[in-house]
Structure 1
Amino acid sequence: MSPKHRHVSANDITMHCTEQGEGPLVLLLHGFPETSYSWRHQLQPLAEAGYRVVAPDQRGYGSTDCPEGVDNYTILHLVGDVVGLIHALGEKHAVVVGHDWGAAIAWHTALLRPDIVRGVAGVSVPPMPRGPVPPMSDARERFGEDFYQVYFQQPQAAEAELAKDIPTTFRKVLAGTPTGEGSFLGRFAVPESLPGWLTEADLATFTGQFATTGFTGGLNWYRNLDRNWELTAAWQDAPIVPPALYVIGEHDFVRSVCPPDMLENPALVPDLRAVVDVPDSGHWTQQERPAEVNKALLDFLNGL
């Protein structure tokens, strides 16, 4: 049994998916700047455990369509892609798992369409309650104009920086040591050697994918953060009701931005089954510590 690749029409776009196994559907949603390749260590273990595992390249990434225009990347488009994909795969329900931005999409899919989500798991990024002010205003006040999400709002600035030398971009972002100074990439030092979890072949795969698509699609997700706040007003204070799991690495930088203790509010995710801290892991959790992440996911899936 090996992964197969297919293209699926969903929500008026064509999505590339990597699929393996048979059984209840589990969707794996990647983050930024990644593709479905970031879930390469999860496909076989979950498939061998009796699940149909599908990892799509999301809107604007990899071999999936990249519509033009920032307004084609709102949270409603991205959740719509997940809902459309579940139905296009011939299923009525799925467990939705996401990492980084993919976690935000997974949480929002569970929030907006709990009728089709059997369970939801977020890796790295916890569910974020809708705040009292637009998120970019909050980010500027808390972290300043140099905060990466604020920087990403500038048209073409981040594209130019990230695409100037794509192999170095991924070497820095995935394996670099934070320095805390300079532009976005300037805040990372080029590693002298790659960590054990990341190979030159892995870097070449990501480099090739983004050399083809560029970075605009993924950056457009960030450029809709304030618009998403406006679009989700009707769900203010609404709970995420499907069974849920949260997984975060011990050294993940997200801890300083979104403290895990926000999940101590039971009104936010009333059926939170577990919070799993992954030791000796940074932000790229399912790539860095696949055995621990796979165990957490399978414990959760088998308990549904």
Structure 2
Amino acid sequence: MEAQMAEVGTEYVLKNILTTRKIGPPILPKGEFGTGFNPDTPATLPSWLTQEDLAYYVTKFKKTGFTGGLNYYRNLNLNWELTAPWSGVQVKVPVKFITGELDMVYTSLGVKEYIHSGGFKKDVPNLEEVVVQKGVGHFNNQEAADEISSHIYDFIRKF
């Protein structure tokens, strides 16, 4: 995967990831990376992502590469094994969950159903609110920064 990412370049990979509107989990079939997450990577950046922001991320990922992040996904089975002692443990602090309707995690198989059919509330009994932002993807803190800030402020203000 790292070799395929190197072929298309760090800027392309990050622009592709940040601007994706493809719902469902990211799947990168072997030999078909050229379009990767988002076959319709826009020629221009969306209003919430400046060229300066993208350049900053590119400099950071050029130093570190993508291996660390990719290894998380390569290690999913081990991650489940390591966190097994906490399986079934509830999150018992007040929670407000915010996601974008186009978030690739939110739109992955079974996630919406889990969140909206009571499974999430069972695991997080003090879940106060679920907010699904219309037209927003995975990077909602950037895509809808003012709205996110308002939600966080309103939530924390109660304490």
Contact 1:273 1:300 in 2 (8 A): no
Residue 260 of structure 1 is matched in structure 2 by: 112
TM (norm. structure 1) is 0.44
Query: How far does residue 192 in structure 1 lie from its aligned partner after superposition?
Result: 2.0
Residues 21 and 137 of structure 2 are in contact (CA less than 8 Å); yes or no, is this contact kept in structure 1?
A: no
Contact between 2:10 and 2:58, CA under 8 Å: does it hold in 1?
yes
Unaligned runs of 5+ in 2: none
Is 2:142 the partner of 1:298? no
Is 1:283 matched up with 2:158?
Answer: no
1:217-232 map, 5 Å: 217-232=68-83
Query: Which letter maps to 1:211?
Result: K
Match of 2:50 among 178, 199, 204: 199
1:249–1:283 contact (8 Å) kept in structure 2: yes
- Which structure features the higher share of helix residues? 2
Q: Does 1:166 align with 2:20?
A: no
Question: Aligned residue for 2:35?
Answer: 186
Share of identical aligned residues, percent? 35
Q: Which residues in structure 2 correspond to 1:57-72 (within 5 Å)? A: none
1:96 match: none
Distance in 2 (alpha carbons) for counterparts of 1:177 and 1:280: 9
CA contact (8 A) 2:21 2:102 kept: no
CA distance in 2, matches of 1:294, 1:200: 22
Equivalent residues in 2 for 1:266-277, closer than 5 Å? 266-277=121-132
**1:215 is matched with which residue?**
66
- Cα distance in 2 between the residues matched to 1:233 and 1:241: 18
Q: Deviations over 1:252-271 (max 9, x none)?
A: 22232152342323320010
Distance 2:48 2:75 in 1: 32
Deviations 1:122-153 (A, max 9, x none): xxxxxxxxxxxxxxxxxxxxxxxxxxxxxxxx
Deviation per residue, 1:227-264 (Å, 9 max, x gap):
12112222221111111121011222223215234232
TM-score calculated relative to the size of structure 2: 0.80
Q: Are 2:87 and 1:236 aligned?
A: yes
Ranges in structure 1 where 5+ consecutive residues have no aligned partner: 1-157
Greater RCO (CA < 8 Å, at least 6 residues apart): 2
Structure 1 consecutive aligned stretches of length 4 or more whose deviation exceeds 6 Å: none
Name the CA distance, whole Å, in 2 between partners of 1:252 and 1:176: 9
What is the total number of aligned residue pairs between the two structures?
A: 147
**Greater share of strand:** 1
Code of the aligned partner of 1:282: G
Aligned positions of 1:87-102 closer than 5 A: none
